[in-house]
A and B are shown apart, each in its own frame.
Chain A
């Protein structure tokens, strides 16, 4: 009696659920079959849900001893051919950054969900924050170009984590999925489409016979095909600077080739990666740039400002990294001021300030964690600026 009821990885239909559960279901729909993690508030429901769902689809769930081991497990699972993910929050991400660097250097696809809470340190375990923006960019040492996506609704927790997996597979790198406590715990309608309607990208496999395969020889898109350990191909992994064979080569020349390429594969493709939502920006004189849960209140503030005859508009960052420098610079030519509401002390504001090249004024609207901005608070700032 070995027959099991077929339980699908895609739960097509209409649901009412939290952002955390939606992200877990999205990961499964994307083809994730390995979760390694260590529970931490406010992300624990993702691990809990995956611990129930993965055994149903013959996947694997491992609760590791800590976050350092968890991310190491992800990298190994990925080299073994499994799409893999973890879910954590700021303190756990801090422990993971070393091996995220290893994932960047070994070009290992995987997805790290960070359900942000207030920091630094243990900070506000149960309350919202958006303070890990720069950690995602610069957390590990050395030069690398991360990709990070930032959903604003329960539906996007599902849809965009699939995109996160697709980017990680296409460009071969750990991708960070930046949620926040509010989104993780709030419930909304989620529509899961039919399995065949979901676009899935899988890593490129070698097209040459094993004796000709060089594990780090890139194609034209700068991404090397990736063999799975055990398929007969040489699989080499090292954090040391390496050549196309994957052998350590400790020279300036090898560093130029290796590190330049792992950055350029993202830099040169950034227009294919960057995702933005524009709302009422066409004739805007005041632009707001926002992301995650904060973008919802910001959109409300923009609508209310328009009702009062103020020409405001919203640029919502769906991808945080790579940063949309060019779009922000053109926006700077158009508007009198760019305002940036965010739940931190100026992380995206600083990036926007850098991107505008002094062409317009940039003003942050900060909360340091623990609560969302209300639309009224943002509207007050807009009105103050107009007067």
Chain B
């Protein structure tokens, strides 16, 4: 397997950093023979405005730790979409929170586009804070080479605060089972 680059992006408060940390750790500690490096936007731009976290995945040694050409772009806000869509590789795969992102012509270079109302799903569980995990379930179900459900669930149980684990796992399942139209 060659190098795979994934970027999660949205606005501050959506739990974008957590998405990267969960996926990064699931790959590096619970998938066989895989390495990952996770970096996230840091500095004034991460305090409000567009926030992002990148996970680079490879079976070999990861030399350059940052993302350059995204294989996957998972986006939960309009601002982040506009800021980072140029980084998506031609033929890459795009995941969007359909109620928060308005797609334009720039999305045409994507080979596949998956849309999910992650915030609405989260709100049905009582709070929009679960939207990042609903999105992760959706990504997990519709991508082959990022991370397995098994690995991700292990890490969620370890990393998420005990009182939130149950609802997050439900959000993950709902995201996983969500079938988008078109």
A residues with a Cβ closer than 8 A to B are: 14-16, 42, 125-127, 181-182, 185-189, 293, 296-297, 299-300, 303, 372, 374-376
Q: Which 9 pairs across A and B sit closest by C-beta, in order of nearness? A: A126-B43, A300-B63, A16-B25, A187-B38, A189-B28, A296-B63, A186-B39, A297-B64, A186-B65
Closest to B64 in A: A297
Closest Cβ–Cβ distance, residue B80 to chain A (whole Å): 18
Question: With A16-B29, A126-B42 given, is the CB distance from A188 to B64 under 8 Å?
Answer: no
Question: With A14-B29, A296-B65, A299-B63 given, is the CB distance from A127 to B43 under 8 Å?
Answer: yes
Pick 12 A–B contacts, CB within 8 A, sort by A.
A16-B29, A126-B42, A126-B43, A126-B44, A182-B66, A185-B42, A186-B38, A187-B25, A187-B39, A188-B28, A293-B65, A375-B63
Q: How distant is the Cα of A16 from the Cα of B158 in the complex, in angstroms?
A: 12
Closest to A184 in B: B42
Per DSSP, chain B at the interface is mixed
Q: How distant is the Cα of A231 from the Cα of B36 in the complex, in angstroms?
A: 49
Contact B29 A189 (CB under 8 A): yes
Per DSSP, chain A at the interface is mixed
Q: How distant is the Cα of A324 from the Cα of B111 in the complex, in angstroms?
A: 50
Q: How distant is the Cα of A374 from the Cα of B65 in the complex, in angstroms?
A: 9
B147 beta carbon closer than 8 Å to chain A = no
Size class of the B contact interface (CB-based, 8 Å): 20 to 34
Closest to B54 in A: A186
Contact B43 A187 (CB under 8 A): no
16 additional A-B pairs beyond A296-B64, A299-B61, A374-B68, beta carbons within 8 Å, are A14-B29, A127-B43, A185-B39, A185-B40, A185-B42, A187-B24, A187-B25, A187-B37, A188-B28, A189-B29, A296-B62, A296-B63, A297-B64, A300-B64, A372-B65, A375-B64
Question: With A16-B28, A186-B38, A187-B21 given, is the CB distance from A372 to B64 under 8 Å?
Answer: yes
Q: How distant is the Cα of A278 from the Cα of B37 in the complex, in angstroms?
A: 23
Q: How distant is the Cα of A118 from the Cα of B39 in the complex, in angstroms?
A: 18
**A293 contacts which chain B residues (CB < 8 A)?**
65
- Residues of B88-116 contacting chain A, CB below 8 A: none
**A376 contacts which chain B residues (CB < 8 A)?**
68
B52 beta carbon closer than 8 Å to chain A = no
Q: How distant is the Cα of A188 from the Cα of B37 in the complex, in angstroms?
A: 5
B35 beta carbon closer than 8 Å to chain A = yes
- Residues of B1-43 contacting chain A, CB below 8 A: 21, 24-25, 28-29, 35-40, 42-43
**A375 contacts which chain B residues (CB < 8 A)?**
63-64
Closest Cβ–Cβ distance, residue B50 to chain A (whole Å): 15
Contact A182 B65 (CB under 8 A): yes
**B44 contacts which chain A residues (CB < 8 A)?**
126
**A42 contacts which chain B residues (CB < 8 A)?**
42
**A15 contacts which chain B residues (CB < 8 A)?**
29
